[in-house]
């Protein structure tokens, strides 16, 4: 384009050689350049109109035009396309940069929290060190010649039953205190096979179905409708990558196999952006929390439109009462054999988990329960048969389902059911009552866990 302008300029000069002329054009850097020309006193140095030089220039100009049009992106249309591609790339790169920036800030906050917890633990250790041990029947015999002040803490196998640290022969010599503890751990009655609506007995090793392709999939939610309705069948798998501030795309896969291959057959666009990884699918609708609000939306998959919307009364949102990993997971929706539930907290509950059963049609709260278990102390929660379960850690590879709350009795119970975070960053865990499995999103990976349910006491 620059060459063309220069050559046109030269031609114009040739035509106006016999009088003063002002010519304007862009220079190489895009600035406007003015050229003022007057006739030379030496006639011989001025080429005449239609001279061989001008004809030669015209011929070279048309040759250059031909060459320029053959260059990739040489025509104005191609130039426009290439520019819009560059613009798209730039927007994408800036989007990823913003995502990473957000992630960095979140990790910094998390680091701050961990440092505070470390300090608290150190203070607690200091307090324990200074506390005299009761003289009667110690739990663990003193190690020969050793005086580790923390040995009384190491006596207990941890919650995962990992006793690999107990290698000292003295510790395994059959001391009465230790055997007592061991008996408590192992004397769990063997669960009977039970296929009804039961209590959680154990969680199997996770099975990996798919790894997300981009940074947008570090966290997310994936699900199958336990009571699917037309036009989508029960095999259909849905997935939403939830990193970013404008989460609206929902990908549908024909079945688990297509999810594993990464070939979506349907992309739905949500009318309003989503927050959290707490979305749930039930009877042909996606239920989710609208970004930066306590508004719940029921999005009908068949008509691809909003079927209901309602505020969840007093619910904290956008980082007020998230799970321990953050991610604005203030409102977690869950589906079980008894219907649709919301797991959240309120200012009145001071961060303790509040549980509400929702009318799946209107989103109205049918009934609520307030637990005494802090929401930000757990990694995630899910419902099975009207019972709430929480997972202790989202990063520890071997953690536990550590608490259960029964809505029938309004009673909470501490548990220690082993649970594995294979990829060490579990951002979503939910139960599918049709598959009797937990679906989870662990550090880019869409995984599921087989479950063993047992007969409830008195059933």
Which is nearer to Ca ion, 324 or 380 (by Cβ)? 380
> Residue 288 CB, nearest distance to Ca ion (Å)?
12
| Nearest CB to Ca ion, comparing residues 14 and 360 | 360
Shortest CB 330 distance to Ca ion, Å: 12
* Least gap, CB of 122 to Ca ion (angstroms): 32
Rounded to whole angstroms, the Cα distance separating 370 from 342 reads: 12
Packing angle of the helix pair 52-70, 2-15 (nearest 10 deg): 160
Q: Quick check: helix, strand or coil at residue 414?
A: strand
Scanning 119-127, 348-356, 416-424, 426-434 for contacts with Ca ion by CB under 5 A, the matching segment is 426-434
Q: Binding string to Ca ion for residues 365 to 384, with x set by CB under 5 A, is what?
A: ---------------x-x--
CA gap 199, 384 in Å, rounded: 7
Using the contact rule CB under 5 A, the part of the chain among 13-21, 92-100, 330-338, 386-394 near Ca ion is: 330-338
- The torsion of the CA quartet 38, 44, 50, 52, rounded to 10 degrees, works out to -130
Q: Report residue 438 as tokens.
A: 């937990």
What is the rounded CA–CA span in Å between residue 262 and residue 268?
Answer: 16
In the complex, minimum distance from the CB of residue 188 to Ca ion, in angstroms, rounded to a whole number: 26
Could you tell me which stretch among 103-111, 332-340, 353-361, 370-378 binds Ca ion (CB under 5 A)? 332-340
Element (H, E) at 59: helix 52-70
Helix (H), strand (E) at residue 183: helix 176-186
Q: Which residue among 288, 430, 440, 454 contacts Ca ion (CB under 5 A)?
A: 430
Closer residue to Ca ion in complex, CB, 251/382:
382
Rounded Cα–Cα distance for residues 132 and 28 (Å): 83
- CA dist list (Å): 435 to 318, 397, 452: 31, 24, 12
Binders of Ca ion in range 381-400 (CB under 5 A):
382
Choices 143-151, 155-163, 291-299, 424-432; region in contact with Ca ion by CB under 5 A? 424-432
Using CA atoms, how far apart are residues 291 and 298, in angstroms rounded to an integer?
Answer: 14
Nearest distance from C-beta of residue 429 to Ca ion, angstroms: 5
How far apart are alpha carbons 282 and 266 in whole angstroms? 18
Answer for the pair 284, 297: CB distance below 8 angstroms, yes or no: no
Minimum Å gap between C-beta 332 and Ca ion is 4
Least distance in angstroms from the C-beta of 324 to Ca ion = 13
Which one, 270 or 353, has the nearer CB to Ca ion?
353
Instruction: Tell which residue, 153, 160, 105, 119, has the closest CA to residue 133.
Output: 153
Q: How many residues in the shown chain lie near Ca ion by CB under 5 A? A: 4
Q: Which is nearer to Ca ion, 151 or 380 (CB)?
A: 380
Interacting span for Ca ion (CB under 5 A) from 16-24, 180-188, 282-290, 423-431: 423-431
Closest approach, Cβ 281 to Ca ion, in A, equals 13
User: What residues does 281 pair with on adjacent strands?
Assistant: 286
Report if residue 332 touches Ca ion, rule: CB under 5 A.
yes
Nearest distance from residue 350's CB to Ca ion, in Å?
21
Pick 140 or 281: Cβ nearer Ca ion: 281
CA 333 – CA 331 distance, rounded (Å): 7
Does residue number 275 form part of the binding site for Ca ion (CB under 5 A)?
Answer: no
What is the C-alpha to C-alpha distance for residues 155 and 151, in angstroms, rounded to an integer?
6
Of 57 and 200, CB closest to Ca ion: 200
Binding site for Ca ion (CB under 5 A): 332, 380, 382, 430
């Amino acid at each position: 384009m620059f060459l063309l302008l220069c050559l046109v300029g030269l031609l114009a000069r040739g035509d106006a050689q016999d009088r003063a002329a002002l010519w304007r054009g862009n220079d190489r850097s895009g600035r406007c350049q003015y050229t003022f020309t007057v006739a030379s006193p030496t006639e011989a140095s001025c080429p005449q109109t239609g001279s061989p030089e001008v004809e030669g220039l015209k011929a070279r100009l048309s040759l250059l035009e031909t060459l320029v049009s053959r260059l990739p992106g040489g025509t104005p249309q191609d130039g426009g396309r290439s520019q819009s591609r560059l613009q798209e790339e730039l927007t994408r790169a800036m989007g990823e940069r913003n995502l990473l920036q957000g992630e960095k800030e979140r990790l910094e906050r998390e680091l701050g929290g961990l440092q505070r917890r470390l300090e608290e633990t150190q203070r607690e250790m200091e307090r324990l060190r200074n506390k005299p041990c009761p003289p009667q029947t110690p739990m663990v015999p003193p190690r020969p010649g050793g005086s580790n002040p923390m040995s009384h803490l190491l006596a207990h196998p941890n919650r995962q039953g990992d006793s690999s640290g107990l290698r000292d022969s003295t510790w395994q010599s059959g001391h009465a205190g230790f055997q007592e503890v061991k008996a408590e751990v192992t004397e769990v009655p063997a669960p009977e096979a039970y296929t009804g609506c039961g209590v959680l007995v154990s969680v199997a090793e996770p099975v990996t179905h798919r790894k997300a392709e981009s940074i947008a999939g570090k966290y997310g939610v994936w699900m199958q409708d336990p009571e699917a309705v037309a036009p989508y069948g029960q095999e259909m798998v849905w997935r939403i990558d939830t990193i970013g501030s404008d989460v609206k795309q929902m990908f549908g896969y024909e079945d688990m196999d297509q999810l594993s291959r990464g070939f979506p057959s349907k992309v739905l666009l949500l009318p309003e952006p989503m927050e959290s990884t707490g979305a749930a699918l039930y009877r042909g609708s996606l239920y989710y929390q609208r970004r930066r609000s306590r508004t719940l939306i029921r999005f009908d998959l068949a008509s691809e439109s909003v079927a209901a919307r309602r505020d969840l009364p007093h619910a904290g949102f956008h980082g007020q009462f998230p799970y321990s990993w953050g991610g604005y997971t203030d409102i977690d929706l869950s589906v079980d054999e008894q219907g649709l539930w919301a797991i959240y907290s309120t200012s009145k509950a001071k961060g303790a988990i509040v549980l509400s059963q929702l009318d799946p049609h209107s989103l109205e709260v049918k009934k609520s329960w307030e637990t005494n278990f802090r929401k930000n102390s757990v990694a995630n929660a899910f419902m099975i048969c009207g019972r709430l379960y929480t997972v202790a850690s989202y990063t520890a590879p071997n953690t536990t389902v550590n608490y259960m709350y029964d809505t029938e009795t309004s009673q909470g119970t501490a548990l220690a059911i082993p649970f594995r975070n294979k990829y060490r960053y579990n951002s979503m865990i939910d139960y599918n009552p049709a598959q009797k499995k937990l679906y989870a999103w662990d550090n880019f990976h869409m995984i599921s866990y087989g479950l063993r349910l047992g007969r409830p006491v008195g059933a």
